[in-house]
Structure 1
């Protein structure tokens, strides 16, 4: 059914409102499952490390904002090519889509090697720069170093999965990411704890390093399978004999135009997270640990929104390529409303089950109590947070990455950080998360205002980014 609806979209056939809703749900569900599986993997990491003690948990929490920054830059590089690929598929130019795929794979892998070298070079000093105390610096540095070594595999997973999704295949990347989650849990049990912790399973007792290695190994295995599926099994994108890669300056210019605002957004947004980490660090080890655990717990709530946002980029990108301006506007609003509905439900569930979520992550009552308080504050911001997440995916599908980047930059640096700086000395971590909830609400309102201006789906936007 999904393939038939996408084919109707590309061919210019009429899609009823019912068809549009079906397409939105069918593409979104696998993407939601994929994002949830990713968070379950992080949740498993945090839960297992949480059993080792507050210091080990804090060591990972200290560098987590830096790992997000690097991961975001890798994702921006992938997006620069996957959006163009979606446009080509929407225009039924599959041969050129495969050429973009080859150029994108080569370019993004070279970029990941550059990021690997940079990350390795700063691993020793990063925890100190972030304000970590002596008790957690060594473990934080080791965790970041291992993270750095797996960056090419993370990039490969990003770009191969992103291109499969851009072609309309949401199912395969989702299933592979779920498998990666299961592999990560297995490797964690094997590497983090000593032998005999789980039945007769042998253990290497590597602690924090084991958590990083478990993620790296599962990422490596799945990224190679993802690449195989892209090059050998994809109906639209698998390699064909006689098709040689040819470079075009226009593709690199378009990729740069799409990726640069996203990269700057990640630098600004995750840079703000790093500054936020600096704000939290003086509050003590328990606050750092509670902040880290709460971020992980909240991810279960907002990752469905990111899944829907990924689906939005695919649908809108193919609509743009097929020159379906009427459908572009309708699908943009449908997918945004779906995201807000889903995250309203997950926000309610997060408020109710916050004590259980924190209890599964850490055995320390004081950390649990603080985490529950901040999660329940954040729950009220989830619907508008969803609007910003999904609308970002909608606008990226058109090739418009500048507006989302500006909105995110303004809200993070002019709303969240000043408020967090003002409130944290007075009410601690609760102040930091109150600032976050206010900022996410402001951001959501900005994106809904942008969607209400129909010119984001006009031909001028299409021409500018095609």
Structure 2
């Protein structure tokens, strides 16, 4: 027993664990607090005095989030390519190539984002109706959707910078910038949603205006840091941009499967939401609260997945596949343990957590059902997200696409249709479908990692 304890302590203090935590903890804090701020924003809308307006506002945010997340996911997929490529160049000591890669990602992000934002602005009503929104939700959410499209453009640009910095392990800067922006966003929401200190109460539109301002500030701060010369990633607008077909091919090799994966993921989510939204505004509001809380648990897997991606990419860039495997395995173990702890907290604290969002007993009852099902899924979800991050860091993005296609677009949608529309299980059936999807994806991703094929991926 004494020897086992000593081994555990050594592992805890090992250089690998320190490297993992040095990259993961700023990302984790950033993502957790961003999720908490998002939760607070949802709580603010859910606690507007007019219960009918509040339910429609919460539903409107849930409905509009999915098409916007679809657009952001395409940009994030491109960033995965940029992160992996920059990590490889950083590990191989080819620092002079990193700036041009980042500029490719910045430019392509904006080329992809602008048409999507314009389409969402012009066809806001049609998109919300297609998503299954009730007429009251469309009416309340129309202007919110149009304003938030501006924020989407800024957020896309910010993602390209943050993704590049994470490739070289500089995760504390995006954390600091996003924390400041989110504090500003929450303060602005309180001011503009409720109309404090003599400011008119804008309701849901106030939340959108506050988000645009916050993302504008974040954009300014990120650019200022890049131009300060403090980063290992050199950047200057004065340095000429050199278009490189080789860079484009490398980004496409990693980014296109990731983009398709995100398109599949969001398409599946849209179909899933159409099924759940048919249960009525109150149940759909409860579902959105459940998803909002679930986002907090996703951040754990995402943070350690980003750390694994950066470390695996750098190790493979340095030609050390064994070290890459150690990084991946250790990161997955740490993340899964914390996932289990979060699951316990969710299961036993469900009603208490939901009560912060709404005082409506029907919403609390339905959302608590969703959270308890999600609690059981936590260890599988965390492990799957982290190992998938390791595969992406190696450039192995095809298999995460396959697992997402099978899990979300087939298993989740089919199971939700059966559980909700055939068996009539309501919100319980919808979330059982989520659990089934996560477990199947966990199994597929774990099998791919065990095969070791990801170690042989060539990026550039």
TM range (shorter): over 0.9
- Residue equivalent to 1:453: 451
Distance in 1, matches of 2:433 and 2:132, equals: 21
Q: How far apart are 1:401 and its partner, in Å?
A: 1.0
Q: How far apart are 1:226 and its partner, in Å?
A: 1.2
Which residue of 357, 360, 363 corresponds with 1:364? 360
Residue 190 of structure 1 contacts residue 202 of structure 1 at CA under 8 Å; is this kept in 2? Answer: no
Q: How far apart are 1:20 and its partner, in Å?
A: 1.0
Q: Are residues 1:440 and 2:438 paired? A: yes
Please give the per-residue CA displacement for 1:290-315, whole angstroms capped at 9, x wherever unaligned: 00001011112221111111111111
Residue 399 of structure 2 contacts residue 445 of structure 2 at CA under 8 Å; is this kept in 1? Answer: no
Distance in 2, matches of 1:244 and 1:263, equals: 28
Q: Are residues 1:404 and 2:405 paired? A: no
Residue 398 of structure 1 contacts residue 457 of structure 1 at CA under 8 Å; is this kept in 2? Answer: yes
Residue 301 of structure 1 contacts residue 350 of structure 1 at CA under 8 Å; is this kept in 2? Answer: no
- Residue equivalent to 1:252: 248
- Residue equivalent to 2:158: 157
Distance in 1, matches of 2:26 and 2:73, equals: 21
Q: How far apart are 1:234 and its partner, in Å?
A: 3.7
Q: Are residues 1:210 and 2:211 paired? A: no
Matches within 5 A, 1:100-139: 100-139=101-140
- Residue equivalent to 1:325: 321
Q: Are residues 1:46 and 2:42 paired? A: yes
Distance in 1, matches of 2:118 and 2:57, equals: 25
Residue 33 of structure 1 contacts residue 304 of structure 1 at CA under 8 Å; is this kept in 2? Answer: no
Q: How far apart are 1:263 and its partner, in Å?
A: 1.2
Query: TM-score by structure 1 length?
Result: 0.91
Distance in 2, matches of 1:24 and 1:371, equals: 34
Q: How far apart are 1:398 and its partner, in Å?
A: 0.8
Matches within 5 A, 1:41-440: 41-52=37-48, 53-195=54-196, 201-239=197-235, 243-425=239-421, 426-440=424-438
Distance in 1, matches of 2:451 and 2:445, equals: 10
Q: How far apart are 1:178 and its partner, in Å?
A: 1.6
Distance in 2, matches of 1:245 and 1:62, equals: 39
Distance in 1, matches of 2:134 and 2:298, equals: 31
Residue 254 of structure 2 contacts residue 395 of structure 2 at CA under 8 Å; is this kept in 1? Answer: yes
Q: How far apart are 1:16 and its partner, in Å?
A: 12
Residue 123 of structure 1 contacts residue 145 of structure 1 at CA under 8 Å; is this kept in 2? Answer: yes
The DSSP-based 3-state class of the residue aligned with 2:169 is coil
**Structure 2: unaligned runs, 5 residues or longer:** 1-10, 49-53
Residue 191 of structure 1 contacts residue 204 of structure 1 at CA under 8 Å; is this kept in 2? Answer: yes
Distance in 2, matches of 1:240 and 1:92, equals: 20
Distance in 2, matches of 1:434 and 1:228, equals: 46
Which residue of 32, 37, 41 corresponds with 1:36? 32
> Deviation above 4 Å: which 4+ runs of structure 1?
240-243
**Structure 1: unaligned runs, 5 residues or longer:** 1-14, 196-200
Residue 90 of structure 1 contacts residue 319 of structure 1 at CA under 8 Å; is this kept in 2? Answer: yes
Of the structure 1 ranges 37-46 and 107-116, higher mean CA displacement relative to structure 2 is found in 107-116
Number of positions where the alignment pairs a residue of Structure 1 with one of Structure 2:
443
Residue 227 of structure 2 contacts residue 236 of structure 2 at CA under 8 Å; is this kept in 1? Answer: no
Matches within 5 A, 1:20-31: 20-31=16-27
Task: Check 1:376–1:95 CA distance in 2 against 1; reply closer, same or farther (3 A cut).
Answer: same
Q: How far apart are 1:216 and its partner, in Å?
A: 1.7
Of the structure 1 ranges 376-385 and 104-113, higher mean CA displacement relative to structure 2 is found in 104-113
Of the structure 1 ranges 371-380 and 237-246, higher mean CA displacement relative to structure 2 is found in 237-246
Residue 125 of structure 1 contacts residue 141 of structure 1 at CA under 8 Å; is this kept in 2? Answer: no
CA RMSD of aligned residues (A): 1.8
Distance in 1, matches of 2:227 and 2:153, equals: 18
Residue 63 of structure 1 contacts residue 127 of structure 1 at CA under 8 Å; is this kept in 2? Answer: yes
